[in-house]
Amino acid sequence: MYEKCSQALASHAAAVFTTMTRRAPSRVEVSQGSRKAPLMRFTLGERVDFRGVAEHGSRVKGYFICAFDAMDSAVSFARDIAAYLGLPASSSKAETDNYVGEFLNVVIGLTCSAWAEHGLRVDFSPPERLQEHSIDQDHLAGHCWRVAIEADGRYTTTLFLNFLPESPASGTIPG
């Protein structure tokens, strides 16, 4: 189930990326996280938590993160999305956050619709801004995937999907 979910995320993220930036990805890479080393330190990111129920009745929870390792990459990405939306481009952090959040909302909406077709229904939170954050082994308490989308060497958008164990011992979602 988890691998199918990560593939749905990769497929929809690449399609939305292409539409909203008007750039075909030069590379889309999907990999499963490992507990051996930090996965990424990033400058700007947006996080969305989710909770739901699988078709067979088991509960699921986890989160998505859309991250950039450099602010100039996030700003370039946001400018492309602003152009797609017909809005003025800005280099402010608030505007950049808004455009990254919009991208993530569209990707998650499509991804969760695909999951629902396979019996996994989830509700998700609004995006939360993350700044100067790292994804490391503390975040790998469950099943973690990394989806990296690169365009013309201009920027790399990295999305993380992590399904966490749903039990009283698991506590809260790491953040």
pLDDT tens digits for range 127-174: 888 876 666 545 555 677 888 898 877 778 888 888 876 643 333 333
Alpha-carbon separation of residue 136 from 37, 41, 143, 151 (angstroms): 7, 8, 13, 25
Domain limits for position 50: 2-167
Count of domains for the chain: 1
Average pLDDT, the chain: 81
Q: For residue 175, name the pLDDT band (cuts at 50, 70, 90).
A: very low
Mean pLDDT across 80-98: 86
**Angstrom distance (rounded) from CA 141 to CA 143:** 7
In a domain, 62, yes or no: yes
Q: How confident is the model at residue 72 (pLDDT cuts 50, 70, 90)?
A: confident
172 located within any domain: no
Domain CATH for 32: 3.40.1550.10
At residue 141, the pLDDT reads 55
* Residue 32 falls inside a structural domain: yes
Q: Is residue 88 part of a domain?
A: yes
User: pTM above 0.95?
Assistant: no
Give the Å distances, CA to CA, from 112 to 26, 31, 45, 52, 76. 25, 20, 20, 10, 27
| Domain membership flag for residue 173 | no
> What is the Rg, in whole angstroms, of the alpha carbon atoms belonging to the chain?
15
Whether residue 175 is contained in a domain is answered as no
The residue among 105 and 163 whose pLDDT is bigger is 105
CA angle at 58 for the pair 9 and 2, rounded to the nearest 5°: 25
